[in-house]
Amino acid sequence: MKFQFLICVCIMFVSCNEGNLVKNKATGQALGTTYSIIYFSNQEQSFETEIDSVFKAVNQSLSTYIPNSDISKINNGDSSVEVDHMFKEVFNLSKEIYKATDGYFDPTVGVLVNAWGFGPERKIEMDSVKIDSLLKYVGFDKVSLSQVGTIKKTHPNIYFDFNAIAKGYAIDRLAVMLDNQGIANYLIEVGGELVAKGQNKIKEKPWVVGIDDPEITEGRELKQVINLSDRALASSGNYRKFRIDERTGMKFVHTIDPKTGYTKNSNTLGVTVVANNCATADAYATAFMAMDLEKAFDVISKNRTLEAYIIYMDEQGQTQEFLTSGFEELVVK
């Protein structure tokens, strides 16, 4: 579950004229959440058709909730599907991040996501024996992309779930669409994940966005406010998406450790990642929630393209914050 960001752009969310500049806004629902796109141009413009087309194309390629999507067909055993360029881009980026995170970002964890009750398939009663039996279907090194665009799996029960990267990728595709339309200043937000380009032209300043406090379970309170320009941002946290077992009362969070097969209850409360594109930020934010804190710090230190902000509990139960130096520079003082 990604943080639902409060977009603190400090301007009214309606189309308006500022001299020769027009601020346009598009809002709606897609990918099981809401979206908001603000963009400046020299005239009133509507890209509703183009926006819908982007979401439709991404869903048809990557949504496990659409029975006839490419990914659903592949998950159901159709090895003849020749995937499109979007699936290829997400697949190749996933493999890259899978290796960089030592397997903590793994879209083949889908069989476990379903089994724990967080996916589109039927939930099952989990125990150590069932988890061990399902783990043999997990591992991105067990899948490959052929030259003709078909997917090869070492076992037919391997189940792809790109939900931890697909939303970020959809935002990147929206950004490409706006770039192709000649829009130089925009802020795209889908379900709390963002791509910002240029400036808030009314203020002639970078876009300003707020990061929710993960310890506030009702209502909203900001933990940080940052400037964002020509970068993407995504967050992950367990504080709002979890499942309570009706029989035992146990809490199961949606983050699943692909190494153990169990849901990950850790001292990491929330992670925010800033990267060059939203798919990358999305995937790393998920991976950092799945791995132990020290492992996350190590991966972050080795990747010069990422900035990160992690909220966690220390051994004394006190809330602490970790910010990379680059992220700290973004914070509004």
Domains of the chain: 16-330 (3.10.520.10)
Predicted confidence (pLDDT) per residue in 181-199, tens digit: 999 999 999 999 999 999 9
* pLDDT at res. 3: 38
Task: Give pLDDT, residue 128.
Answer: 80
pLDDT of residue 124: 62
Mention every residue, 6+ apart, whose C-beta is less than 8 A from residue 165: 90, 93, 94, 97, 105, 107, 279, 282, 283, 286
Q: What pLDDT does 122 receive?
A: 63
CA pseudo-torsion sign 124, 241, 77, 138: negative
**Mean pLDDT in residue range 268-287:** 96
Which is more confident, 222 or 60?
60
Closest to 275 measured CA to CA, from 204, 212, 194: 194
**Confidence at 65, pLDDT banded by 50, 70, 90:** very high
| pTM of this structure | 0.87
pLDDT at 311: 92
pLDDT beyond 70 at 9: no
Lowest mean pLDDT among 55-69, 111-125, 165-179, 290-304: 111-125
Residue 253 pLDDT grade (very low, low, confident, very high; cuts 50, 70, 90)? very low
Give the pLDDT confidence score for residue 135 in this predicted structure.
93
Q: Which residue has the tokens 């992220």?
A: 327
Question: Based on the number of CB atoms within 10 Å of its own CB, is 225 exposed (0-12), middle (13-18) or buried (19 or more)?
Answer: middle
65-74, 96-105, 175-184, 239-248: the lowest-pLDDT one:
239-248
Q: Does 56 or 268 have the greater pLDDT score? A: 56
Helix (H) or strand (E) holding 237: strand 231-237
- For 225-229, what is the mean pLDDT? 97
| Residue 254, pLDDT score | 57
pLDDT at 46 over 90: yes
- Provide the terminal-to-terminal Cα distance of the chain, rounded to the nearest Å: 28
What is the band of 281 on the pLDDT scale with cuts at 50, 70, 90?
very high
| Contact in structure between 111 and 130 (CB atoms under 8 Å) | no
Q: Are 34 and 13 in contact (CB under 8 A)?
A: no
Res. 114 pLDDT band, cuts 50 70 90: confident
Residue 241 has pLDDT above 80, yes or no: no
| Residue 209: closest CA among 184, 178, 246, 235 | 235
Give the DSSP H or E segment for 251: strand 251-253
Mean pLDDT (the chain, rounded) = 87
How sure is the predictor about 119, in pLDDT bands with cuts at 50, 70 and 90?
A: low
pLDDT exceeds cutoff 70 at 251: no
Mean pLDDT value of segment 226-255: 67
Select from 247, 331, 305, 269 the least CA-distant residue to 3. 269
CA distance 233 to 167: 12
Please state the rounded mean pLDDT for residues 49-72. Answer: 97
- CA distances, 39 to each of 4, 180, 195, 197 (Å): 20, 13, 12, 9
